[in-house]
Amino acid sequence: MKKLGVLNKEISELIASMGHLDELTICDAGLPIPEDVWRIDLAVRPGLPGFLDVTEAIAGDLQIQQIVIATELKEKNPEFNDKIKDIFGDIPVTYIPHDEFKQRSQNSRAIIRTGECTPYANVILISGVIFK
């Protein structure tokens, strides 16, 4: 059994396969996911698993150099936005309109769907490298 990090087989494989500047989206239960993008569907019921728990687990395993969040989250739910930023600390954040976010997420290596039902609770993680 794996000792540390994300236990989910698909997410572990995804993280291990990520290269520099690859993008991974973690989303709420409502974000549209195209058929041709690798979907890792964790949603069990509304709120389970929560977006923040899944995001925190992945942030602990994946080297991230930048995150992308919808502007609408910052405007309409600043507390949730702050919780996301707390997970990532000093990692730079780019804000884009939600419609642009939806388009950009279609280019992700994978989209991980949570059971979160908080509007705009989505993040794109841009992979970094562990060396300089």
Known catalytic residue: 20?
yes
Nearest to 70 by CA among 111, 119, 110: 119
Alpha carbon distance 37, 40 (integer Å): 10
pLDDT at 90: 97
**pLDDT tens sequence across 16-58:** 999 999 999 999 999 999 999 999 999 999 999 999 999 999 9
Q: Give the helix/strand (H/E) hosting 81.
A: helix 78-88
Spell out where 13-118 has E strands: 23-27, 38-41, 64-70, 93-96, 110-113
pTM above threshold 0.95: yes
What pLDDT shows up at residue 1?
A: 81
Look over the chain and give the mean of its residue pLDDT values, rounded to a whole number: 97
What is the reported pLDDT for 4? Answer: 87
Q: Look at the domain 9-127 and name its fold.
A: RbsD-like fold (3.40.1650)
Give me the catalytic one of 17, 20, 21, 86.
20
Mean pLDDT, range 82-111, rounded to an integer? 98
Of 60, 126, 51, 129, residue with least CA distance to 96: 126
Q: What is the pLDDT of residue 103?
A: 98
Lowest mean pLDDT across 1-10, 22-31, 106-115: 1-10
Task: Look at residues 67, 46, 45, 71 and name the one whose alpha carbon lies nearest to residue 56.
Answer: 67
Q: Is the pLDDT of residue 112 over 90?
A: yes
- Coil, strand or helix at 6: coil
Name the percent of the chain lying above pLDDT 90. 95
